[in-house]
Amino acid sequence: MITFEEVLAKTKRKLDENQLQAVNCDTNCVVSAGAGSGKTTVLSYRFLRLVLEKKADCDQILTLTFTRKAAKEMHERIHAQLLQFKSDPYVATQLSKFPDAEIATLDSFCSKIVRCDCTRYGIASDFSIDDEANKKNAQLCAQALMEENTFGEGARILAQIYNPEQLIDEVLVPLATQHYYLPKILDPGIVQPILDAVKTKYKEILDSFYQLLLSYEGFTASSKAVQSAREAASILLPAFDASDDYGVMLSLLGSSNYFWTKPGKGSGDDIDLLRETSDSYKAMRKQLCLALSILTHGQSLASVLAFLCEYQKAYQREKRKTGILTFSDVSSLAVDILKVNPSLRSYFKNKFRYIMIDEFQDNNQLQKDLLYLLSEKEELCNGGIPSYQDLQKDKLFFVGDEKQSIYRFRGSDVSVFKQLSSELKQNGGVALSLSTNYRSEPELIALFNSLFPVVMENHGESYEADFAELGSRAKKDAIEASCTLCIKPFDSADQDEGEDELAVGVDSEASAVALLMEKMLHTDEYLIPSETGPRRPEPKDIALLMRSTSSQLSFEKALRRYGIPYTLQTARSLMLEAPSNDLYNLLQLTIYPEDRLAYLGTLRSPFCNISDAGIVSILESYEENPLPFGTNPVLSDDDASRFEHASHFFSQLKDYVKTKTLSELVMHLWYESGYRLSLVTHAETQVYLEHYSFLHRLAQIKEKQGFGLSQFLDFIRENLGQNERLDDLDVIKEQSDGVQIMSIHKSKGLEFPIVFVASAGTKLMNKGSSLFAIQDTVIPYFMKNSFHETEKKICVTRGLKDFFDSGEEKLREKAELKRLLYVAFTRAETHLVVSGCFNRMNRNKNGDDSADNLLLLACNGLGLDIDSLAGKNTFVQVKRIEDVSEKSLYARKSESPASEDEGFEQKSDWYRQPLEEVDLLPSRYGVTTIFGVSEEAGNEALRLPLLDCDALFLKIVEQEKKKNPMQKDPYSPAADFGTLVHALCESRLLGENLPDERQLIPIPLARRLDEREKKQVLADASSLCDNFFACDLYRRFVQDTSFKCEVKFFSVVEYQGREVVAEGAIDLLVETPNEMLVIDFKTDLYKKAEVHARQVLTYLQAVERLYGKPARGCVTFLRQCGNEVWWKTNIDEK
């Protein structure tokens, strides 16, 4: 049997001393793994070591990650490592168990626990997880309850404090979705403990205030301020002694009386004391008034809490009824189930011998409790959360980096990760560190080591991250790393008067950034390493990161102006640009043909491209017959031809919208109309090509939410012209060909040769929240009371937050800002650029000494004067961003009147050419369309076992024929059933843990099924998957090999007398040392392999071209696997 040491000797990857120490650790351990330190390598090699040393089987190690992408990467890496040594009998045995290895996200694992005992909470085991659907349910529950309780006291109070939109969207929905998760139940009895807490703090402040008044009572000096203080004491002290009535005390302390001006000059004991304590007097008096406001509104608090209890019950009833939960529900339920179900807790404790958790700095106390429950000593099973003394001493292995905890908005808490080290060390565990950064050049590491000790300096607060010096790798040959600060200093002077107005700061910054990128791309000043030596960077080697994408549009425009391609992770400008408007206009006409504006937009868009004169003629005839493309206007030959083609396409589209899904419609408009080709034709519009990814994704999201076309158009209409980020519309790309623009949060886990941290001077406008958590209960505002904070200034208080908030929330936000800077900087491999503008609001000249934006943080850490831009760090180059004229923002680089005229003439000549006849036949087909089953099953085909859902599908077909008797190709569910089976097989092959397999049912089929029918279809699909995993084909060729699922390809073939592109996806592609194996799944009722031979041949030819190996393939009929026929590229050779 091969040993782990032999594996290390044979693999190319060499582990450093710290990595080896972590891999070989056999006690509870917390590994602090900095950016680029190889934490994924450590986790995968530790998994391998535990298996090879027979400490655990593959299915006895629980490996948890933060994202599905990370789980998939971990799964593939560990599997690939084991496959290298599959000839070893023990490794082969472990490979057979690897499909059962639990490598998943924490959310999906929690879902698995909850499904074991969810009926205890009245939840069906086939529940689904959908945060968006839950948000809608919360809105509906809130609206219904407010209507039912219009005259209820709690509803009345809330309606007086908040406007209706605020109350629903900013109070009740966040309370329900973020705080009132299952199985938590609000306790109305919490009111008294809250009031008791207020009273306790009130008495503490009152005692200090009373003592201060006693000192004022003894004043003898004659100054006006001293006399005012003595008078205040003489009135307030007897009042405190005489009455405990909170209302009386509030009217006294909340009045405009008993204030004075803080002494400026003068001396003497009384004046000195008053000068020192006047601010304290006002602060304590304000705190007393805040407390008294709460205590006099105790009944209002009780009424609001009673209303919230009703709301929570209604919302949780809806959850149980619909079976739709949130991720927070699942996490909380999983912990509760393990606490109250000893047998299930014991099962999971015994199932997993080791637990490894990645990115734990992004988790919270609830998730820590879950892991402690799973790691409790076997002989124990106490009711609550185990203490660290009750944990097994060698089960837990945490990996994380407190400096990269940047997800507070998702509930992560860096203090939980920091606390782990001390707890586990007290129980025999260890805390290790992976300090070497293998990503960045040594010069950048030296910069980080000088910058971040200053930035991250703290006084031991639990929410602060501690920075430790980073180690570095060897310098790459002939590579000179760099760090550049591009800064526009604050200028208090007004703009110079002149012919050209100056652009705003962010536009000037964007122009400077684009100019520097152009220099990087076309000179040798910013070389980056490659396998063949130093080279100039390409656009895809550059990332432009921003804390907020609010100014993204300015950078997009600047990059377009300089002809630099880019790609987006978040399309803020999606609804501002032409593609969204063009697609909206054409789809709008299919439902609302009378929309004149949409018709005009369509005529001018690339869908028609009609000239101005042509549009005038069309609109004149349109007045007589107001239907799109319903007239025969007098047009030039060119316009007439375009109009005819557009009319034909629109006629087809009107039929398409009746049967196609939203995503299919978007794809049809983008590709089949020629719209994409129109963008490709012009360099300046090619940047819009990736808008398709966002529009298609938006259509998919709205499909999932049950939107029809009219609702989809309503949504787009509301957002057109808005420079806003659309929620959940982020598209992650494996490969990008342009500058990658994304938020810093999206860049986490990625690395780039060149990083721009742009718009670094931006301050996020935090509106704050009216919600406040006290004694594990979150409460909104429940009153509106005012009092005098000074003689003239009035303070309005609405709830507990004003009284209890100590300002820690702001300190936590600033602590995360420091970590955000660290994450942004450590994405860079070779060159780092920081750009930003200082203005009147972000320099913090008159505030405290803490920075509230990334640019000021960096400047302060580097010792850079933000006015003169002078600094001491010689490695950092500082460049001043100069003003640019607003006119220059709308001109392309190097554009001149002469070049404009030349370009116009060239384009005019091209447009004057006669329009060639256009072949409207598609140029791309699916392989199954070209080589579909052309022969009848007949007597030669073997009939396979029937499924229960076959009868259901026949019923659907009959219903479709009745509904649309004239339709040429009525909907058939068989193809969608095949898609479902393929998706299930792929999911199981890749070891994915799906929270809800119903999501895999294609939308057209799901729409036609009720819940019972969905369960039946899923059960039948699952049985076909089981057939495959139990068959000889899987055991012989797939189980212990390297494979890929759904491998997409394009191939040129001859079809209908012309060359076309055949597009296909290979269900399962297995790579062996000598050949490639293609396995195609079929769910057909009749087995006749020969009818699929041409399809398989196309797959084989494509695979041999792509991989350079001989290939053979087969079709396996999942209703009855076995006796597969294999083909080679010579179709007659089997």
Judged by phi (left if over 0) then psi (alpha if -120 to 50, else beta), residue 1077 lies in beta
Q: Is 540 annotated as a binding residue?
A: no
CA 995 vs. chain centroid, Å, equals 18
Angle at 1132 between CA 1127 and CA 1134, to 5 degrees: 35
Asked whether the beta carbons of 1106 and 1049 are under 8 A apart, the reply is yes
Quote the CA–CA distance of 271 and 250 in Å, as a whole number: 28
Quote the CA–CA distance of 601 and 607 in Å, as a whole number: 10
Quote the CA–CA distance of 833 and 830 in Å, as a whole number: 10
C-alpha distances (whole Å) from 837 to each of 117, 177, 834 are 55, 38, 11
Quote the CA–CA distance of 776 and 293 in Å, as a whole number: 22
CA 615 vs. chain centroid, Å, equals 44
Quote the CA–CA distance of 890 and 258 in Å, as a whole number: 61
Asked whether the beta carbons of 287 and 803 are under 8 A apart, the reply is yes
Q: Where are the alpha helices (DSSP H) in 323-476?
A: 327-340, 342-351, 365-374, 414-426, 442-455
Q: How many CA atoms lie within 13 A of 714 on its CB side?
A: 6
Q: CB atoms < 10 A from the CB of 673, how many?
A: 23
Asked whether the beta carbons of 702 and 712 are under 8 A apart, the reply is yes
Quote the CA–CA distance of 262 and 698 in Å, as a whole number: 60
Asked whether the beta carbons of 438 and 37 are under 8 A apart, the reply is yes
By three-state DSSP, how is residue 92 classified? helix
Quote the CA–CA distance of 262 and 275 in Å, as a whole number: 6
Peptide bond into 263 cis (omega under 30): no
Q: Is 36 annotated as a binding residue?
A: yes
401: which 2 tokens?
């980096």
Q: Is 322 annotated as a binding residue?
A: no
Q: Is 135 annotated as a binding residue?
A: no
Asked whether the beta carbons of 1068 and 1038 are under 8 A apart, the reply is yes
Q: Residue 149 is which amino acid?
A: N
Quote the CA–CA distance of 77 and 285 in Å, as a whole number: 63
Quote the CA–CA distance of 489 and 161 in Å, as a whole number: 42
Report strand pairing: 1042-1055 vs 1058-1071.
Answer: antiparallel
Q: At what angle do helices 68-83 and 89-97 cross, to 10 degrees?
A: 150
Q: Which of 64, 26, 55, 59 is nearest to 392 (CA)?
A: 26
CA 740 vs. chain centroid, Å, equals 16
Asked whether the beta carbons of 583 and 669 are under 8 A apart, the reply is yes
Asked whether the beta carbons of 843 and 836 are under 8 A apart, the reply is no
Q: Which of 1075, 1058, 1045, 942 is nearest to 984 (CA)?
A: 1045
What spatial distance separates the first Cα and last Cα of the chain, rounded to whole Å? 38
Q: Is 34 annotated as a binding residue?
A: yes
Asked whether the beta carbons of 950 and 1085 are under 8 A apart, the reply is yes
Q: Is 37 annotated as a binding residue?
A: yes
DSSP string across 100-118: G-EEEEHHHHHHHHHHHHG
By three-state DSSP, how is residue 1021 classified? helix
Q: Which of 177, 126, 141 is nearest to 323 (CA)?
A: 126
The partner residues of 779 in beta bridges, in order of sequence, read 772
Q: Is 768 annotated as a binding residue?
A: no
Binding residues for ATP: 33-40
Binding residues: 33-40
